[in-house]
Every structure is written in structure tokens, then in C-alpha cells.
Amino acid sequence: MSETPHPGQEPQDGIRGLPAEDAVPGSLGRVAIVTGAARGIGAGTARRLAADGMAVAVLDLDAGSCGATVEAITAAGGRALAVGADVSQDGQVEAAVATVAEEFGPPAVLVNNAGVLRDNLLFKMSGDDWDTVLSVHLRGSFLMSRSVQKHMVGQRYGRIVNLSSSSALGNRGQANYSAAKAGLQGLTKTLAIELGPFGITANAVAPGFIATDMTAATAARLGLTFEDFQAAAAAQVPARRIGQVDDVAHAISFLASEGAGYVSGQVSATGNSPAR
């Protein structure tokens, strides 16, 4: 493990405080932004990247909601910053990325995780349901990537990880979400092509069922207990268990690491059945 500063960036005191064995080589002192990190997969990913040695901007709609994630990271000796922004809004995205760059230095890692569901069968899906889901997942990832890439190009280094889903291949009641998650795979591959010459990789993870507030809300909408919903989902998964936040965070940690520099434009399924 090296504590050599990365270009344009001094090591952070808080990161130096991490136990050396916890840091992933090449991650120490790098700056990461994780969107939708107040809870769920985003919160787990923020904690994981901080444990890897990164200074992490914990971004969500309301900075106040990021407190628990920030406190968990700082309590473990890491460095974190709460940032409030709606990823679908250009001005808020630009301001948020500028704040991160001022406070922590230029971001080198971006995890586009923020998401919402507005599930409904096609004949009942409103235009607003469509627009909201496409705006947060797809436009949000576009705006965040466009804003962060200039900092990555300046460093000749970057790692972008987008949250797709097994639903990208189609899922009943999710015309909007499936389209957004499939679109994210196309965005990922295009970013990999355009940004590759600058030392920047772009990959996607496409989880199946992960236990979070999002899937708990789906169970409630379907009139199922979360336990029954999880049991039914687990039966379809080769590992015969549903995924946990840390399962996804671990895959993202690898894709965000310096060592993954020759992996780009890929979609990594986590926990899905082979048919998907």
C-alpha cells in the first residue's frame, strides 16, 4: 500500500487515520461521490469505499438525511461529507460537484446509485411516472457523469459505476424502470468508449433482489410481507438467498479500485438467475 498523493490531491488526515490493512491499494485518499447514499445500497457503498481508503461525498436529495451514513464513516475513522442535491437537476448537480471538489479535491470515483420506483402496469402508468424514473436514473447519471468527468480527465484517472438492474431485461410493472436501467447500460458502454483514453473506466452492476427499503416498499405495494417476498425471490436465485447491500458494495468496490483499470464497459450481474 502506498500513501503517495495522487495527482492534484494531497492525502487527507482522516484517511491517514484508517488502519493500513483496511485500505485498498491505490484507493487511499482518492475522492468518491456516491449518489443516493443516505440509505440502502448507496449507504453501504459509501461505507465500503471509505473503508477502502477513499474520502466519500455522501450525496442525496437532502443533506440532512445523509447524517447516519456520514457518522458511520467518521466513527470508523474515515472521511465523509454530506451533500444535498437532486441528481436530475443540472444546477444542483454542478453545485454539488463543485462543493465536493472544493472540500475534498477532484473526484476520481463516481457511483450513480440514486433511484426511485414508480411501478405500474403500462395501461395505468402516467407520463409523470415515466418521466420521474427516467429523470432520476438516466438523466441523473448523465448529468453527474458529465459534471464529474472534467475532474477525472484532469487527473487522467477515473472510475464510474452505474447501478443498472436485472430489470433492464424487462420486468412486469416496470416499463419505466426497465427502460431506464437498460438505458444505463448503453450509457455505461458509451462512457467507457469516450473516456477510456483518459484513464477512466465505466462499468455497471445489475443486481437482482437486494434487501433495502426499495424492495420493502415493493412488497408492501404487492400486499406481501417483506419476509414472504424475500423467500419467493430467494427461490429463483442460484445462491438461494436474496442479496444484501454489502454484496453489491463489494462488487462496486472492485470496479472502483485502481486494479480494475482494464475492466470497462461491462455489466456485472449480482445474484441473478442465469436466465437473466
Enter the DSSP assignment of 243. B
CB-wise, 15 or 111, nearer to ligand NAD? 111
Distance CA 7, CA 78 (A): 21
CB 96 → ligand NAD: shortest distance, Å? 9
- Amino acid at the residue 175: A
Distance CA 34, CA 43 (A): 8
CB 64 → ligand NAD: shortest distance, Å? 11
CB-wise, 40 or 53, nearer to ligand NAD? 40
Distance CA 131, CA 133 (A): 6
Distance CA 263, CA 265 (A): 7
Position of minimal CB gap to ligand NAD: 40
Q: Is 177 a catalytic residue?
A: yes
Which entry of 157, 177, 209, 229 is annotated as an active-site residue? 177
Query: How is 127-188 classified by DSSP, letter by letter?
Result: HHHHHHHIIIIIIHHHHHHHHHHHHHHHHT-EEEEEE--GGGG--TTBHHHHHHHHHHHHHH
| Grid cell at residue 125 | 402508468
CB 35 → ligand NAD: shortest distance, Å? 6
Residue numbers at the binding site for ligand NAD (CB under 6 A):
35-36, 38-42, 60-61, 86-88, 113-116, 136-137, 140, 163, 165, 207, 209-210, 212-215
CB 155 → ligand NAD: shortest distance, Å? 24
CB-wise, 1 or 68, nearer to ligand NAD? 68
CB-wise, 104 or 209, nearer to ligand NAD? 209
**CA distance between the termini of the chain:** 38
Active site (catalytic) residues = 177
